[in-house]
Chain A
Amino acid sequence: MGEITKLTLVNLVSKIKSKEISALDACSDYVNRIVKSKKLNTFVTETLEQAISFAKKIDDNNLKEGILSGAPIAVKDLFCTKNVETTASSKILKGFVPTYESTVTSKLWERGAVLLGKLNCDEFAMGSSNETSAFGNVINPYKVNDENIVPGGSSGGCSAAVAADLTVATVGTDTGGSIRQPAAFTGIVGLKPTYGRCSRWGIVAFASSLDQAGPMTKNVSDCALMLDAISGFDEKDSTSANTKKEEFLKNLNRNIKGLKIGIPKEYIVDDMPKEIQDLWDKGISWMKESGAIIKDISLPHTKYALPTYYIIAPAEASSNLARYDGVRYGFRASGKDLNEMYENTRSLGFGNEVKRRIMIGTYVLSSGYYDAYYLKAQQVRRLIKNDFDLVFKDVDAILTPTAPSSAFKIGEKKDDPISMYLNDVFTVPINLAGLPAISIPAGFDQSGLPLGLQIIGKPFDEQTVLNSAYALEEKIGFKSQVKDWWM
């Protein structure tokens, strides 16, 4: 025992299906590790007892049909889970227990996965370090000189939990990089699918036109399997795409010979550490070795992506978060009249970063400012999308670093929102364009922290993204350096 939690999702499920490992043993091993890993603060809510009894049920009734049979999985606390508290890591939703299950997570359970609990994240997924969570920051399983490091964000509980073997795989959400950046910071694989590939129904909304759920896993094969499990059209989400069901794991292969990979010059940014440039160069040579054709490309509007994102995302958030008013569910602070109740509830219920974004969003939508900010941002968003449409006539995928730095120390950027926002510079344009993109672990910096490379694909061409990542993964030969120091 003990080695079960090292297994990949694909291997674990196949061993459970062949009865080499029981679902109960798999679950128990994860439960044991979770109990010993409180220091990392990855879980907001644990459902360990239910997990054990559900795993037993799988064994007793031989429920081994599902493609995730017996896989112990914790999910980001942004997914509404029936009868299990769902908080979006915010005080304002403390105590909220949904009577419904999000489409994405219900697909997990339908396919045999076992819920371990809900994973910490930035409050309402607003953050890049998991430091905005109302329930404390998550700690990266990687450590530098005994100093605690952020796990990235907003899906920081997810990334840390996968890296620390506290869940065999997970689903996060990605609005501006919230799956890929934490994946890069913790040495795991994270995929943001095409906007519309996975249903948003039942996911606490941050920015509706950008939010997308996606897998975070130990490797690329697991990622393909998870995408098989969670993707698909949902009539309850008007923005979900009615495309044919694909089989990503079945079609996963490393043959990328002749595939044209674009290298955008605009992604070389000031102050980017040399080791990231070096890693990118290595990525390019690995791609070449695999038979891909490298092309220099230009995405001229890249520099506008971050400001555009920080208008559109807060604008949508300011409206999406209006429903947390203390009237129907969640936290309520009393007041002498309705307005005072609203003010008290929202002042005490939301954290600073969420308030900051609500204020920015309210401002950019206000009459007199709408045209200059929100409307302009929508126009620029179109130009950014056009940039990608144009280059995708010449290339099949694009290779970039995932983030301009490795994970930073806890507290390092907490009081400097702009420098925090800059961490999303390579991931944000992809959300604005609605494209699929994966981050895979590609090496370490000098201090031993993992670094990621990002592969961006055409809309609904996750298969090419996965195949390129699969080829690159073999060349990289990444090995986790997590040392279980907290146990």
Chain B
Amino acid sequence: MADNKFDYYLDGKTGKWEVIIGLEVHAQVTSRAKLFSGSSTKFGSDPNTQVSLVDAAMPGMLPVINKFCIEQAVKTGLGLKAKINRFSKFDRKNYFYADLPQGYQISQFKFPIVGEGEIVLDMPYGTKVVGIERLHLEQDAGKSLHDQDPENSFVDLNRSGIALMEIVGKPDLRSPEEVGQYVKKLRSIMRYLNTCDGNMDEGSLRADVNVSVRKQGSQQLGTRCEIKNVNSIKFMQQAIEYEAKRQIDIIEDGGTINQETRLYDTKKNETRSMRSKEDAHDYRYFPDPDLLPLVLDSEFIENIKKTLPELPDEKKHRLMNDFGLSSYDASIIISEKDISDYYEDVAKNSDYKLAANWMIVELFGILNKEGKEIKDSPVSAVNLSKLINLIKNGTISGKIAKTVFEQMVQRNENPEVIIEKSGLKQQSDPKELEIIIDNIIKNNQDKVIEYKSGKIKLFSFFVGQAMKDTAGKGNPQLINNILSKKLK
């Protein structure tokens, strides 16, 4: 695989261009209560039903840190192999908007809770380490609804105050493909840790994408533009491609890039200027006087460390070293928590290697075809492990297994029952097979003579006849053995 070389360079009129990308990912902390209030964070509730006095910024209300959200941030930091800052602070980011009740967002500016870390990506051209700059906690805003009434806008504060982790990556990414892998890996780590559910369509994970370009071989960074609030991997990739080409065109036409914030229009597939650097908000950050600095003792951090589950990278090594999975198979198995959980359920009761093969080839084939996620798999892990065991103990052949699997997909049935009902059980009695094979030899003496005179290709003819006469249920291994002996 290392033969593949990185080659994402965009062609311009003046030559090849490299694209530099850095992501600021906003990940909603998995927590039943908000960051500074006890309100519920449940998705999809009626507007303004999950709003406390604090979330609505009533006069005299004060924020109180939700300790669980702190634990979740530390856990995520540990999962990113990052430095946990024992001292951090909450700051106010001041701006006016109808869905920002306080008139400021409580965030962490100067002293984030988590410092530098890293994420390892498996790319076709080898592994790539992408740096994490920092992770900090902040409140989400509410939601303005502009399409409910011709005259008025409405505000839903259910999201107001929900805890977000902003994970700021270094500008280490070089292609849309890497961005996709990065987001998937980050999401996978957080899902393993259960610190963010990563549901992009519910807004639990979204990103601001920073893009700049430079001539291939150049070491200098170009001026970047920030594409705000993109909420799917596909859109991120499209936006990057569009934005990079836009910047290349400008520079090649003798222009310069203005540092600015842009919006990605998913319908037109283009980015548009939202505000220039000059118009950028002055957020007037300052430490929130309602909250004391957050000081974590080492015991608190150690206790969280002890609860860390096996993370994707560690699991990949274990699958490769202990069970002989290929790097490719292992990467696929660990890529998502749900896949990995399913895999463990199948493998622990059957066979690690066969489980990987069956999942990657057969199960994913079906899922892709039907556009389903593993959690909606038509075949349960228990039934797939049973199927693998039936192959392992010779009850059915791999070929029959595929037929059985097709039926399992139809109605998630126990493969043992399917085999019983359809009489697909493998014919593995050597005596019975010998009788069948003897008959084949007797009836095909001409072929036997040809075979013995050197036309060894005919062996498969005999195997085929045997399978035909056993209605496909003959144990291929046994048939091979008996035939070899008889035709000697």
Contact = CB atoms under 8 A, between A and B. Distances in A.
Interface of A: 79-80, 86, 88, 93, 96, 98-100, 102, 200-205, 207-209, 235-239, 315-316, 318-319, 321-323, 325, 327-329, 338, 342, 362, 365-367, 370, 374
Contacts of A93: 59
Contacts of B10: none
Contacts of B153: 338
25 contacts: A79-B60, A86-B59, A88-B59, A100-B58, A102-B60, A201-B62, A202-B61, A205-B290, A238-B63, A238-B64, A238-B292, A239-B290, A239-B292, A315-B286, A319-B284, A319-B286, A322-B96, A323-B101, A327-B101, A328-B56, A338-B97, A362-B284, A365-B284, A365-B286, A367-B284
Contacts of B102: 322-323
A88 B60 CA distance: 11
B382 interface: no
A200 B58 CA distance: 13
Q: Which 7 A-B pairs have the closest CB atoms?
A: A322-B103, A365-B284, A208-B289, A209-B289, A323-B57, A202-B60, A204-B59
Given A205-B60, A342-B96, 19 more contacts: A79-B60, A88-B59, A99-B53, A100-B58, A201-B62, A208-B290, A236-B64, A237-B62, A237-B64, A238-B62, A238-B65, A238-B290, A322-B96, A322-B102, A322-B103, A323-B59, A327-B155, A328-B101, A329-B58
Instruction: Tell me whether chain B's interface is mostly helix, strand or loop, or mixed.
Output: loop
B291 interface: yes
A338 B282 CA distance: 19
Nearest to A204: B59
Contacts of A236: 62, 64
Interface string B278-320: 0000101110011110000000000000000000000000000
Contacts of A366: 282, 284
A322 B104 contact: yes
Contacts of B64: 235-238
Contacts of A374: 286
A370 B153 CA distance: 35
Nearest to A210: B289
A319 B92 contact: yes
A257 to B, nearest CB: 38
Contacts of A322: 94, 96, 102-104
A200 B59 CA distance: 11
Most A-side CB within 10 Å, residue of B62, B102, B282: B62
B59 A96 contact: yes
A200 B97 CA distance: 26
Contact of B289 (A235, A316, A328): A316
A144 to B, nearest CB: 37
Contacts of B291: 238-239
A444 to B, nearest CB: 37
B282 to A, nearest CB: 5
Contacts of A315: 286
B103 A319 contact: yes
B98 interface: yes
Interface string B45-78: 0000000010011111111110000000000000
Contacts of A321: 103
Which DSSP category, helix, strand, loop or mixed, fits chain A's interface? loop
A154 to B, nearest CB: 16
A207 B286 CA distance: 13
Contacts of A235: 64
A205 B290 CA distance: 10
A151 B21 CA distance: 63
B94 A98 contact: no
Contacts of B97: 338
Nearest to A329: B58
A98 B286 contact: no
A86 B58 CA distance: 12
A86 B59 CA distance: 9
A207 B59 contact: no
B289 A327 contact: no
Contacts of A367: 282, 284
A177 to B, nearest CB: 19
Contacts of B61: 201-202
Given A235-B64, A365-B284, A366-B282, A325 B59 contact: no
Given A207-B289, A342-B96, A374-B286, A319 B59 contact: no
B101 A201 contact: no
B369 to A, nearest CB: 49
Contact of B57 (A80, A318, A328, A362): A328
Nearest to B102: A323
Contacts of B282: 366-367
Contacts of A237: 62, 64
B289 A338 contact: no
A204 B59 CA distance: 5
A118 to B, nearest CB: 13
Nearest to B144: A338
A100 B53 CA distance: 9
A207 B92 CA distance: 14
Instruction: Point out which of B59, B61, B153 has the most chain A C-beta atoms below 10 A from its C-beta.
Output: B59
A216 to B, nearest CB: 19
Contacts of A201: 60-62
A98 B62 contact: no
Contact of B60 (A204, A209, A338): A204
B142 to A, nearest CB: 10
B357 to A, nearest CB: 55
Contacts of A86: 59
A237 B59 CA distance: 14
B453 to A, nearest CB: 93
Nearest to B280: A367
Contact of B98 (A98, A205, A338): A338
Nearest to B90: A238
B384 to A, nearest CB: 50
B104 A319 contact: yes
Contacts of B104: 319, 322
A454 B469 CA distance: 110
Interface centre among A208, A237, A315, A325, by most chain B C-beta atoms within 10 angstroms, is A325
Contacts of A328: 56-58, 101
Interface string B100-111: 011110000000
B368 to A, nearest CB: 46
A98 B96 contact: no
Nearest to A326: B98
Interface string B377-415: 000000000000000000000000000000000000000
A164 to B, nearest CB: 27
A370 B62 contact: no
A323 B53 CA distance: 13
Nearest to B153: A338
A425 B92 CA distance: 29
A173 B266 CA distance: 53
B98 A327 contact: yes
Residue of A80, A88, A322 with most chain B CB atoms under a 10 A cut-off: A322
Given A322-B94, A322-B102, A370 B286 contact: yes
A169 to B, nearest CB: 21
Contacts of A338: 97-98, 153
Interface string B253-292: 0000000000000000000000000000010111001111
Contacts of B284: 318-319, 362, 365-367, 370
